[in-house]
Structure 1
């Protein structure tokens, strides 16, 4: 039986992808080695042509009052706050040029996530189920944190999963490669490059059981 497909695209913020982004220096080597930006453009262009919706999963934005009075704040959130990463209203939280959502394509910007998973404390599962999506194609940042955590949640919710190895990057390229080769196959239906996946769609193999 066919399982309708959507792309899950995590955090295509300037903060990661633009050379002036606060987090760009930490992933730049992996971005370059995977040719991530060019491959994300390729994925988005293909999704538009195929009328496949893209679900944009963006991290919560920060301000001087963010997490004020919180008693359960982890290392990652503490770092984001102290460095004002994803600062509301800043250049860093704008969509990277050419990766903006297109509602006419069926794109959805889901509620923002606080930690790694785009399912935790968001409406992502609800939005996907409202549209009958059963197969999600995973792309975005960062490979072995938000992307992998979101994929694991998707697995627990029963979605079929395709992970795209060259539409992501890691805080080190070695970490990204290790995740893609050793970890993702444990819970994913497919671990492919964007070219391999788009070719399978064109050949009529889009559905994943």
Structure 2
């Protein structure tokens, strides 16, 4: 049987999860909506840019933020930052080595914003109005790919959230890492497949790899248009 990885399977073998969206207990979580991932000026654009462009990721994340604010649900951003003291780490996986080599998400320190504005670690300027509105939860940084090392789960639990609409960067890395941990923590998770993107390297297409795992693990895999319809109460 030939598998199609980019489109949805014509005859899926896996049963439906039975997921029913409930805005009263839902949150939108965006991972790493930062310049280093989403801008041609970012440190990783050579690897991620083609997928970002193909998926129209930047616009789709913006659409999700607007729709979530209009629906008045919790919005949380899980960012990725590295401080000078992180350079003392004595080992790292290939992803960590890559991020270190190109200076991704670098900040001058945990208690200073010197040099932060407009740097690769900053949020994409198009999202500032949504993220810096005094309502969005900006969690402590995650350090590898998952939220195990930050306070995302605590922030969601404290708000009575049990369902997550998940998007952001990057598909097979931080998005999938957050998906897996949120599932382990008892959340239902709907991934928005065109509001993310992945690296294209000789090792493989990270976006296509992520789509396979999204279908196996997520409660739902939506397009941005489908997610917005749910947020607007137009789709059951």
Match status 1:76 vs 2:95 = yes
- CA positional deviation for 1:174: 4.2
- Rounded Cα–Cα distance in structure 1 between residues aligned with 2:154 and 2:91: 26
Partner of 1:130: 158
Secondary structure at the counterpart of residue 166 of structure 2: strand
Partner of 1:116: 145
Q: Which has the larger radius of gyration?
A: 2
**Structure 1: which 5+ runs fail to align?**
none
Judge which range, 11-20 or 167-176, deviates more.
167-176
Secondary structure at the counterpart of residue 192 of structure 2: strand
Partner of 1:107: 136
Partner of 2:174: 146
Partner of 2:71: 50
Tell me if the contact between 2:44 and 2:102 (Cα under 8 Å) persists in the aligned partners: no
RMSD: 2.0
- Rounded Cα–Cα distance in structure 1 between residues aligned with 2:68 and 2:132: 11
Using the size of structure 1 for normalisation, the TM-score is: 0.88
Match of 1:179 among 210, 215, 221: 210
- Displacement over 6 Å in runs of 4+: none
- Rounded Cα–Cα distance in structure 1 between residues aligned with 2:102 and 2:205: 25
- CA positional deviation for 1:72: 4.2
- String of CA shifts for 1:28-48, please: whole Å, max 9, x gaps: 110111111111111111112
Tell me if the contact between 2:35 and 2:121 (Cα under 8 Å) persists in the aligned partners: yes
Secondary structure at the counterpart of residue 86 of structure 2: coil
- String of CA shifts for 1:56-84, please: whole Å, max 9, x gaps: 10112243x4231x334333223323332
Tell me if the contact between 2:67 and 2:232 (Cα under 8 Å) persists in the aligned partners: no
The correspondence of residues 28-39 of structure 1 with structure 2, limited to 5 A, is 28-39=49-60
Match status 1:12 vs 2:33 = yes
Judge which range, 196-205 or 45-54, deviates more.
196-205
Using the size of structure 2 for normalisation, the TM-score is: 0.78
- CA positional deviation for 1:103: 4.3
